[in-house]
Amino acid sequence: MRALKLQISHLFLPISVMVLLIIINLIKGADYFNITLVNGALYGNIPNILFGASELVILTIGMTLVTSASQGQDISIGVSATITSAIFVLFVLNAGQVTIFTILAGFLISCIAGLVIGAFNGILVSVFKVQPMIATLILLTGGRSIAFMIDGKLSPILANDISNQIGTVIPGLPLQTPIILTALFIVIVAVVLKTTNLRLYAESVGINPSAARLNGIDPKKIIFLTFLIMGVCSAVAGFIAVNKAGRHDSVNLLKFIMMDAILAVAIGGNSLIGGKFSITGSIIGAYTIEMLNRTLLRLEVETEAIKAFKAVFIIILMVVASPVVRVFAKKALDQIRSSLAGIAVKLTGAPKDTAVSGTDASGKKEN
């Protein structure tokens, strides 16, 4: 019960931001939640958001772990995904007949490539103690050239039915495939976090590496591990992105997505200097950003001003999210709650179970 309460207060920020956006959208038009069936798949604003945010959500999960343990951010995620998906495309195009097995094999190979990239970044950060942002800057700078070379200096085309179905809809399923893949990925991450000590280890390393080491947790290993996971996340996101696009464009694929991913982690109520984290918050944060992008389009903000509007929105969100405002809001909320409880006590005469804690709080204040 207590844990649940703690989590809800943690998620207060991302959820409130999302609710705010939903309200704005509903004011603009009551048809916001309308869903229709097109080609056997659900279609509407909400499926569009789920579809559009799939890569961002997956990358945000990895980013949350990296942020927690390494106290910094991986800014090479979009580029890593571009490299891994280039390898995927290279494999699939050279495998001859495209079957579900070649796609799967290509995916696994791209995951291995993701692990290699993660290991490269991870070694720089954990062994050589390079700041994460600097370490990953190397790939951010040079990675797209590497992907370009893998592509054979062209934008190879993935024009086959299986890729197309992965990027759109598999006949018979009511949801677009990227949405299903993202949901699967989230489930896998949830199971891993539930069954392993990863969360505890990552958080303790992020809060205080020396203390973690004294307690038998090797910070190097944990930081390295989070970068490996980040690498796999990049590979999965790259896989989805390239199948959506049907073409490998090493210049534009997932460009600037690290900005949104870092933002999603922050909106999710996570500290960007590591420590405790909430994956749920980050995921909601990622969907919120996608919703924000589309809200601006829905409001028909002038084309030239759209980025500025996004920035203003984000500033407002971050100020609202800042600890200063949060503490203030919590105090105000407590006060309202206790005074309400007081009124309830007076009205009913006898305190109910739920009101007991409230009376305690107001009693304390009088002392």
Partner 1 sequence: MNKKIFTIVLILAIIVPFALFVGCGQEAKSSLIKVGIVNLPPEESGYRQANVEAMNTVFSKDNGYDAKQTNTGDNSEQIAAAKGYIRDGVDYLLISAANASGWDDTLKSAKTAGVKVILFDRTIETDPSNYQAALVSDMAYEGKMATDWVLNSVSQPIKLVLIRGQLGSAAEIGRSAAVLDAQKAGKLEIVADGTGGDSWSLEEARKVVEAAIAAGKDFNVIYAQNDGMAQGAVQALEAAGISHGKDGKVKIIGFDFNRFALRNVQAGYWDADMQCNPRQAAEISKWIKSGKLPSGIQYQTELLLTTDTITDELIDQWGINADPGKGVITR
User: What is the C-alpha to C-alpha distance for residues 268 and 60, in angstroms, rounded to an integer?
Assistant: 10
CB closer to partner 1, 29 vs 174 = 29
Count of chain residues binding partner 1 (CB under 8 A): 48
Q: Is 304 a binder of partner 1 (CB under 8 A)?
A: yes
Q: At 41, is the secondary structure helix, strand, or coil?
A: strand
Q: Which amino acid is at 165?
A: Q
| Interface pick for partner 1 out of 50, 166, 245, 291 (rule CB under 8 A) | 245
Render 307-323 in DSSP notation, one character per residue. HHHHHHHHHHHHHHHSH
Q: Is 189 exposed, middle or buried (0-12, 13-18, 19+ CB in 10 A)?
A: buried
| Interface pick for partner 1 out of 3, 4, 30, 154 (rule CB under 8 A) | 154
Q: At 237, is the secondary structure helix, strand, or coil?
A: helix
| Interface pick for partner 1 out of 182, 250, 280, 282 (rule CB under 8 A) | 250
Tell me how many helices (H) and strands (E) the chain has: 16, 2
| The token pair that represents 258 in the structure block | 């690290």
| Interface pick for partner 1 out of 2, 4, 5, 39 (rule CB under 8 A) | 39
**Which window, 44-52, 205-213, 279-287, 314-322, contacts partner 1 (CB under 8 A)?**
44-52
Nearest distance, CB of residue 254 and partner 1, angstroms: 8
CB closer to partner 1, 39 vs 367 = 39
The closest of 314, 312, 308 to 288, measured between CA atoms, is 314
Q: Is 252 a binder of partner 1 (CB under 8 A)?
A: yes
User: What is the C-alpha to C-alpha distance for residues 166 and 160, in angstroms, rounded to an integer?
Assistant: 10
**Among residue numbers 276 through 295, which ones bind partner 1 (CB under 8 A)?**
293-294
Nearest distance, CB of residue 16 and partner 1, angstroms: 24
Asked if residue 248 lies in contact with residue 155, where contact means CB atoms within 8 angstroms, the answer is: yes
Binding footprint of partner 1 on the chain (CB under 8 A): 29, 31, 38-39, 41, 43-45, 48, 51-52, 120, 123-124, 127, 144-145, 148, 152-157, 159, 164, 167-168, 176, 244-247, 249-252, 255-256, 293-294, 297-298, 300, 303-304, 306-307
